[in-house]
Amino acid sequence: MSATAKKTAPLPDDIRAMKGGTPIVSLTAYTTPMARMMDGVCDFALVGDSVGMVLHGMPSTLGVTMEMMILHGQAVARGLSRTMLVIDMPFGSYEESPEQAFRNAARLMRETGAAAVKLEGGQHMADTIAFLVARGVPVMAHVGLTPQSINTLGGYKVQGRDDQADALLADARAVAQAGAFSVVLEKVPAGLADRITEAIDIPTIGIGASPGCDGQILVVDDMLGLFTAFKPKFVKRYATLGEEGEAAIRAYAEEVRARTFPAAEHVFADKAPGT
């Protein structure tokens, strides 16, 4: 049974139990209205650190702070009651030591009500994942293209091609063994994503990966077509809100300049009739 049939939000263990079943549905969310739209439709919503690029116009996710994540996490939490909330740990908030990771993960969960945190990294983060899980922090891992490492990965390239494939498989195995309840596979060739999905016992959540993954995630603004000039190969646009928004703003500007907006129905009479 899909976790979305529930009246309450699924828990990390419910998501883990969806391995191999009906695909897990997820999107990023950064605001209350968007969260309300996906509540009860998605199994989980991720307050991704992509918020820095998507909503704040940052050039990468590296400048995102704990305070930004908490502010957006709280906004998303207000819009969800039947969809699980997962929140990203921002760059610099977990890499230094398991203790640092626990302190910041606990703060994110305490101040937003998120059920789990997501962090980037494979084998080198396994000890930290085990440390967090042992202390009550459910962890979603993220391997493949890890945007917080673009400066060492050399950009937003597909990961795990050719001789890198075994290392990526080892990363996925390591985070599963460490106790992560699921793992995001970002920009991984489809055949390798399928191999990883078969090899590990936790759900894989694909973005630019394979329909064979146990679930999918997209950045909500991308799939709604809110960006007119940005269309990566792995994004399907289910709406063209960016174009509609631009047209609406142009129409509004014309009407204001022509004094046709506001019209009679949009303004208040000086005195109610008969008074």
Among 13-21, 44-52, 94-102, 239-247, which window interacts with ligand KIV (CB under 6 A)?
44-52
Distance CA(15)–CA(63), nearest Å, equals 30
Q: Which of 111, 120, 186, 198 is catalytic?
A: 186
Q: Give yes or no for residue 128 binding ligand KIV (CB under 6 A).
A: no
Q: Does 14 bind ligand KIV (CB under 6 A)?
A: no
* Cβ pair 40, 47 in contact under 8 A: no
Residue whose C-alpha is closest to residue 187's, from 159, 162, 214, 213 = 159
Binding to ligand KIV by residue 48, rule CB under 6 A? yes
> CA angle, corner 255, sides to 250 and 256, nearest 5?
100
Question: What would you report as the CA-atom Rg of the chain, rounded to the nearest whole angstrom?
Answer: 21
Contacts of 9 (CB under 8 A, 6+ apart): 80, 81, 82, 83, 84, 85, 115
- Among 10, 38, 50, 173, the residue binding ligand KIV under the rule CB under 6 A is 50
| Residue of 27, 117, 219, 226 that binds ligand KIV (CB under 6 A) | 219
Among 39, 43, 49, 171, binds ligand KIV (CB under 6 A): 49
DSSP string, 219-236: -HHHHTT--SS---TTPP
Q: Are 80 and 45 in contact (CB under 8 A)?
A: yes
CA angle, 205 as apex, 233 and 55 as ends, to 5°? 60
Q: Out of 14, 43, 88, 171, point to the residue binding ligand KIV (CB under 6 A).
A: 88
Q: Nearer to ligand KIV by C-beta: 18 or 27?
A: 27
| Contact between 222 and ligand KIV per CB under 6 A | no
- The count of chain residues that interact with ligand KIV, using the rule CB under 6 A, is 11
Q: Distance between CA atoms of 107 and 35, rounded to whole angstroms?
A: 21
| 186 a catalytic residue | yes
Using the rule CB under 6 A, which residue among 28, 128, 197, 204 binds ligand KIV? 28
> What is the smallest separation between the CB atom of 117 and ligand KIV, expressed in angstroms?
12
Residue 45 CB, nearest approach to ligand KIV (Å): 11
Which residues are paired to 86 by β-bridges?
46, 116
Binding segment for ligand KIV (CB under 6 A), chosen from 41-49, 72-80, 193-201, 229-237, is 41-49
Q: How many CA atoms lie within 13 A of 217 on its CB side?
A: 25
Q: What residues are labeled active site?
A: 186
Q: Which residues bind ligand KIV (CB under 6 A)?
A: 28, 46, 48-50, 88, 142, 184, 207, 217, 219
